[in-house]
Structure 1
């Protein structure tokens, strides 16, 4: 007998809730939560061993404990209510993580690559839906679902692989940021798609106007009222009061949003944005994070509980076909969007592969669409199963993306359509150079080195993969060229066989060893200086042929040790900071 078969109603025959019945209902809910979190913990531990995301673990938990599995949960109404709170807290914290300064700084990637990816994906899905004789409103809805990628999964993988600061890492983050921003108008537009055909445009305009009006009202209050309120709350210096105030503010704003005819999640998102620019944002985010993660897990578990495994079993071909279609479609739209920004085909492919899955916000839109009857039950099941498959494949795809992109040759026909490296100009400018320095990467380190060499009269040239940086630096008179410094043909045109030094001032732990080995093969006498973030990458770079490897964390450790020793007045002849730091660092590498 399953737990769901037990009678758990707290009401007596007269229709009133008795104390014993209420106590039994509370105990039943507690049992449901124990089952959910117990299975979630077990499954999360298992899936993490195969490098899967916690989101996948929660979805699988819902499948296991739901009607398609062991049917262990009876009080689904209460679970779904708590899941709604989790969504509100999720959107609240996502809103808090948005920074206007960050968006402005990354506006070219956010609006350029991100905007093109979302528009292209939505348009492609709409076109396919029309070809399949679906209503255009459903086509737009499906386009919204497919356009979003998983920020939680992809960003975590980038952090684990230390690729956030690489060229393709910055591109991916920019696209994900725009996708998250699009959740607000998407959620606002969905109810308007259910309006009568002749009123849809007016309904969409009205829906967006309500979002803008509510957002303006909340942001006005955040600018002139909330700072004073939060300063009084923070002055109490009690974390319990701060937590209560944060929950009250986020859920209260969500309730006010629902009262205005908007969604609860949308109001919570706007509330998060309202607090993102305050001086208390970091502390508030840290306090609410545990609550968000706990309640948020219930949302993904409740989504997994909706999956009908029997339906999926009978329609497995459709599920696999839709999953493959989503992957190919998002790969193509992501690749094309980034390539059209002027990045190389290899970097565009790496980013496109990393974005080729369905995101967690798609489940929120899917849940909302089900309530609005925008998606039939069968299509709901197929998309849900296909989405879970794409998310589960993401770690493997991201792991293989550097090797896949490396094997992809630059396509000459694509270079005629999209901007490509100015190899002819590079070869022409580098031809007269002898005994020069090749700087790979024009970040802070690259810029400082270039400025120093220019002041000393030492000849150099710079290779950079970001076309916007190349255009800006070229306008300032810098000797900089668009080119992939990990490719032998680009290094050859930059005169690596005649150069004295090659400096890699880029952050890409997977591409650098191969690039150093290529350069060393082309010119064994070349002095190759490589900057890396982590000391544990130094050994591979030295084996590849690097003359000198400078690890940022070791340099920082030396500086920290030096500053602390200075505080205690240790004589210079007893400090020996450099050799001591290196010796300690070597002994601690086994800890990582």
Structure 2
């Protein structure tokens, strides 16, 4: 009991410290387990109880992944997920088999295949968590990674099913795998029958009791019974839990099931990662550090080299491919499960098992930092002339519809729910519309509806030029992620400074930055919903419609300031630095006797003259002005935070030195 309490306490403390330090919580769980384990402080001595909770954690994690599995989501990226995901697994296993046999890491083909299976899986938990924290689940690279991860999760069931066959002699391997697949097929047919005729009435009976406790107890019992049954017939309990989740994913009580199980799952998953940490011997890691670092490098490089070309092969932009390749370049949490089962079947020695644990843990730790820093690295890389030209060529349009409009048209970036509604409303009023989209499924819809489109990255200069932005009447940016929205906004206005441009802000922190970048109007969907709801209520309560509309106009004119929570200057500065880190930026000291001194932003109009955008002014007195307005004046000793490409920053320097004439408005 003491060991059980210790693992939960260690997970809670480690997760809390990681959260306070702004690090991934899973990292806190792992390190807490290592420190509290028998190799360090020795607080946890008996692993048997901890292992039971860890097994429950994996079971419930696979169960909830099965419940959350959506065939509709998979259909959005079915080509890259099924084709690319399947190829990625096959190529990773093949490459690992070749390298491991050549270098002597394994002594037989089944062992090499098993090691390849372990490396082929990436971490659904870590990648999804990182994407959610950065609001990137709906981006092109987010959809690609999630699609491939779904296929990997499905493949885990097949891997677990054939795992017992891999310890058979090579000459009997084919027969053993065939028997395992036959078992899996019979089990799948039985699961379909149970999921169709038994599960729905059972859940309906539990729901009728209106007791959350009974519903949770019934769902947990169902999950564990199916998991136990698959273990008894020679398959794995983990695969049984996943299949149990799939049975429920298509019935009407799926949301209620998730709500009941999620809290229990989160607690058990925290214990699972802490338990993995307990197993890791830091002294073993230190003694074998060169080998483990080599394995980590092999995993990252191999998966990047495999995934990136595959994503490009399926006609995604190069940036999407690079982010997807590095984002999936780790070994997943389910590889722990495979490794443990492999040790039971004698496919890996204890030393190899410890090496797998250490390598997996290190790749899991590295991944969140890679996903957090990569967009900024790519943005800064674009300031290098050779890399900028290469990325620009790689970001050329993948496909262009016939009969594109070339003037007096409206460009809509993104054809999701918001973008498609904008297109419909404009088309109904006979405006010429051109859509920029990089989702293959959405492109097919545009093609079927005869709507002019460009298949490509809306933030690409080549794509924007192909859309004839210089001759467009207006532009609406409804992209799912803020990074692409910022770059698209800035580059579109560089091509056409007079463009009437409106942009959707998914995050409150982007509202002021979008206005600073030159947007004529910034729309925040949640605030707009609040305004419409309150308008209806106020008019219904007897307030004059004209008075209510005037208040609404004032709120919009203030950039929703009334609705936004109050923030300190320090918080605003942090948000600004975070928002601009993915853009090319530079602190610039205003030269002495600059002709800009004493003039306002409205008089100078630096964005129009140079393309560079001023987002922060730091006075010599220490005063700091984030998001300066048009009446802000330049003063001696100012330090300016500028956002712009290399040539734009050079032009701003010429402007500050008086080499470019100031056109007083």
TM over 0.5: yes
Q: Which moved more, 1:469-478 or 1:480-489?
A: 469-478
Structure 1 pair 290–485 and aligned structure 2 pair: CA distance change class (3 A): closer
Identify the residue that residue 72 of structure 1 maps to in structure 2. 43
CA distance in 2 between counterparts of 1:413 and 1:522 reads 15
After superposition, the C-alpha distances for 1:76-105 in whole angstroms (9 at most, x for unaligned) are: 212212222222222221211112333334
Higher relative contact order (CA 8 A, sep 6+): 1
- 1:280 offset after TM fit, Å? 1.6
After superposition, the C-alpha distances for 1:305-354 in whole angstroms (9 at most, x for unaligned) are: 22122221111111111111111112222211211110111111122222
Give the secondary-structure state (helix, strand or coil) at the position aligned to 1:81.
helix
CA distance in 1 between counterparts of 2:403 and 2:282 reads 63
CA distance in 2 between counterparts of 1:448 and 1:271 reads 38
The answer to whether residue 267 in structure 2 is matched with residue 294 in structure 1 is yes
Identify the residue that residue 118 of structure 1 maps to in structure 2. 89
The answer to whether residue 76 in structure 2 is matched with residue 96 in structure 1 is no
TM, length-normalised to structure 2? 0.78
Identify the residue that residue 619 of structure 2 maps to in structure 1. none
Structure 1 pair 157–465 and aligned structure 2 pair: CA distance change class (3 A): same
Give the secondary-structure state (helix, strand or coil) at the position aligned to 2:476.
strand
Structure with the largest fraction of helix: 1
Give the secondary-structure state (helix, strand or coil) at the position aligned to 1:503.
strand
The size of the alignment, in residue pairs, is 557
Identify the residue that residue 140 of structure 2 maps to in structure 1. 167
CA distance in 1 between counterparts of 2:129 and 2:436 reads 29
Q: How does 1:119-198 map to 2 (within 5 A)?
A: 119-133=90-104, 134=106, 135-198=108-171
CA contact 2:527–2:563 (8 Å) conserved in 1: no
Give the secondary-structure state (helix, strand or coil) at the position aligned to 1:461.
strand
CA distance in 2 between counterparts of 1:349 and 1:305 reads 34
- 1:588 offset after TM fit, Å? 4.5
CA contact 1:94–1:269 (8 Å) conserved in 2: yes
Structure 1 pair 560–205 and aligned structure 2 pair: CA distance change class (3 A): farther
CA distance in 1 between counterparts of 2:373 and 2:167 reads 42
- Which of 39, 52, 55 matches 2:10? 39
Identify the residue that residue 511 of structure 1 maps to in structure 2. 484
- Which of 531, 534, 552 matches 1:578? 552
Identify the residue that residue 108 of structure 1 maps to in structure 2. 79
- Structure 2 residue ranges without an equivalent (≥5): 382-386, 568-665
CA distance in 2 between counterparts of 1:203 and 1:551 reads 58
CA contact 2:410–2:433 (8 Å) conserved in 1: yes
Identify the residue that residue 527 of structure 1 maps to in structure 2. 500
Identify the residue that residue 83 of structure 1 maps to in structure 2. 54
CA contact 1:437–1:499 (8 Å) conserved in 2: yes
CA contact 1:554–1:581 (8 Å) conserved in 2: no
- 1:526 offset after TM fit, Å? 1.4
- Which of 329, 345, 352 matches 1:356? 329
CA distance in 1 between counterparts of 2:128 and 2:102 reads 34
CA contact 1:62–1:302 (8 Å) conserved in 2: yes
TM, length-normalised to structure 1? 0.87
- 1:49 offset after TM fit, Å? 3.0
Give the secondary-structure state (helix, strand or coil) at the position aligned to 1:373.
coil
The answer to whether residue 366 in structure 2 is matched with residue 382 in structure 1 is no
- 1:137 offset after TM fit, Å? 1.4
The answer to whether residue 366 in structure 2 is matched with residue 393 in structure 1 is yes
- 1:185 offset after TM fit, Å? 0.5
- Structure 1 residue ranges without an equivalent (≥5): 1-28
CA distance in 1 between counterparts of 2:255 and 2:444 reads 36
- 1:184 offset after TM fit, Å? 0.6
CA distance in 2 between counterparts of 1:117 and 1:559 reads 48
Q: Which moved more, 1:306-315 or 1:118-127?
A: 118-127
CA distance in 1 between counterparts of 2:253 and 2:242 reads 17
